[in-house]
Structure 1
Amino acid sequence: MTLKRHTQKAIPIIFTATLLLILLHIKDPDVVKASAQLTAFAYRKTVNIYSNPHYRHTGRTLKKLSGGQEISITPINKSWNRVNFLINGHYGYVHSNDILKDESTGSYHIYSLRKHTNIYNTPYPYGKKNTVFYSIRGSQSLTVVRMDRNWYKTVVTVKGKHDTGYVHHNDLNLAVTQKNNHYYASKSASNVYADAYSGVRSIIARIPRGHVLYGHSFSGNWNIVTINGRTGFIHNADFYKNNSFHRNFLIAFGDSVTRGSSADIDNGTTQYSWVHYLPSELGLSRVENYGVSGSAVAVRSDRKDSFQERESWINSHGKHPDTILVIVSINDFRHDVPLGSFDVRSRYTFFGGLRNFSEYLQRNNPKAKIIYMTPLTQNAVPTYSTYEKNGLGLSQDQYAAAIKRTASYYGLELIDMQHDRFVNTQMNPFDPAIKKQYYTDGLHMNKAGYFLLSKEIARRLLNN
Structure 2
Amino acid sequence: MWRNAAAAQLAAVILYLLPATGCKTTPDHHRYTIVVVGSSTAEGYGIKPKDSCWVNRFAHSLGPEVAVRNISKTGYSTYEVMPTGTRKEGRPEPDTERNITKALSFHPDAIILNLPTNDAAAGYSLEEQQANFRTIIQAATDKQIPVWVTTTQPRTNTFGHPRNTLPQMRDWLLATYGDKVINFWEPFANADNTINKQYDQDGIHLNIPGHRILFERVAQKHIMDTVRKGPVQLLSVAETPYGLRLRTGGERYIDSFRIQASTDSLQWMDAGRVKAAGTTVHVQDYELNVNAAAQYRYYRIEAKDSLNRVFLLRSFRL
- The TM-score normalised by the length of structure 1 is 0.35
- The TM-score normalised by the length of structure 2 is 0.48
Larger radius of gyration: 1
More relative contact order in 1 or in 2 (CA 8 Å, sep 6+)? Answer: 2
